[in-house]
Amino acid sequence: MRGTSRREEGLAAIEAAGIEAAPADPENPSTVLDLVGDVATVYWLLGSAEGSAENIEAIHGPRLERLLERLVETPVRRFVYEASGSVDTEILERGSEIAQAAGERWRIPITIAGPQIDIAKLGWELR
């Protein structure tokens, strides 16, 4: 399992949890795509992302869409989108729609994770 963060403190927290940490920035999808060569599932857990309103809208909008378009050419075979958190509900709903449309278009299994995320159903193992 690999976790990503754009901040050093986030990477340290990921490592402390016993997970391989890698720097990536959802504002730049290519940094995420560089890491998916041996990944089957991508979890876009940004429902409580912080930053400028413009960047938050972008990572749940056009940047998400661009990432999903490019995932088709990778080994990724499942995408989980977090549709709950502190981000505005309308933004999360648009992100859910983008993820679902991509799943239908490219036949990628998409899971929309809501407020009651069942870790076992997502395929995670807690350590």
Looking at domain 22-122, which of 3.30.1300.10, 3.40.50.2300, 3.40.50.720, 3.30.70.100 is its CATH number?
3.40.50.720
Residue 35, token pair as written in the block = 């890491």
In this model, does residue 127 exceed pLDDT 50?
A: no
Query: What does pTM read for this prediction?
Result: 0.84
pLDDT tens digits for 37-95? 999 999 999 999 999 999 999 999 999 999 999 999 999 999 999 999 999 999 999 99
Which DSSP string corresponds to 83-126?
--SSS-HHHHHHHHHHHHHHHHHHT--EEEE-SS--HHHHT---
Classify 4 as helix, strand or coil: strand
Query: 115 or 78, which is more confident?
Result: 78
- Cα dihedral angle (65, 126, 48, 23), rounded to 10 degrees? -60
Helix or strand holding residue 15 (H, E): helix 8-16
Sort strands 20-23 and 2-5 into parallel, antiparallel or unpaired. Answer: parallel
Q: Please name which of 49, 102, 100, 37 lies closest in space to residue 74, comparing C-alpha atoms.
A: 37
